[in-house]
Amino acid sequence: FRMADKPIWEQIGSSFVQHYYQLFDTDRTQLGAIYIDASCLTWEGQQFQGKAAIVEKLSSLPFQKIAHSITAQDHQPTPDSCILSMVVGQLKADVLPQVLGFQQSVLLKRCKEARVCTSEVFRLGLHNMG
């Protein structure tokens, strides 16, 4: 496919998602740039408010190596000119005995020239998706 043929929200959403998992899998301490003080993360049912708390949570997750693979992603524009993205995929971390499924959603807001993530929700699939 050609990226240019996709609606703008799909281009932005899929670029963000690609960037996010690439950062997450290589050096997740760098994720701070995508959050602001108004950002909220719900990680496995626990809430974290603001860039500092979110980065602390993500940096202190108990694994060294992780690899995400995206099974499906959907992107939509919202009434308030944000972009809403839902990702379904699988992940493998060194501390986990097996591949696990996950679901993640992000709400992206324009902030100066960049997009920041103001809302994020993450859940592991309860059962192995493989």
Partner 1 sequence: IMENKPVWEQIGAGFVQHYYQQFDTNRVLLADLYTDASCLTWEGQGFQGKNAIMEKLTNLPFQKIQHSITAQDHQPTPDSCVISMVVGQLKVDDDPVMGFHQLFLLKNIDNKWICSNDMFRLALHNFGC
Binding site for partner 1 (CB under 8 A): 38, 40, 42, 45, 47, 71-72, 74, 76-80, 82, 84, 86, 88, 101, 103, 105, 107, 109, 118-119, 121, 123, 125-127, 129-130
**Between residues 55 and 116, which has the closer beta carbon with respect to partner 1?**
116
The structure tokens listed for 108 are 């992206």
**Between residues 28 and 123, which has the closer beta carbon with respect to partner 1?**
123
Distance of closest approach, residue 117 Cβ to partner 1, in angstroms:
11
Report the alpha-carbon distance of residue 71 to residue 82 in Å, rounded: 23
Q: Which residues pair with 50 in a beta bridge?
A: none
CA nearest neighbour of 34 among 65, 63, 58, 11: 58
Q: For the stretch 29-49, what's the b/e string if a residue is b when 16 or more beta carbons lie within 10 angstroms of its beta carbon?
A: eebbebbeeebbbebeeeebe
Q: Which residues pair with 107 in a beta bridge?
A: 84, 119
**Between residues 23 and 84, which has the closer beta carbon with respect to partner 1?**
84
**Between residues 31 and 87, which has the closer beta carbon with respect to partner 1?**
87
Distance of closest approach, residue 18 Cβ to partner 1, in angstroms:
18
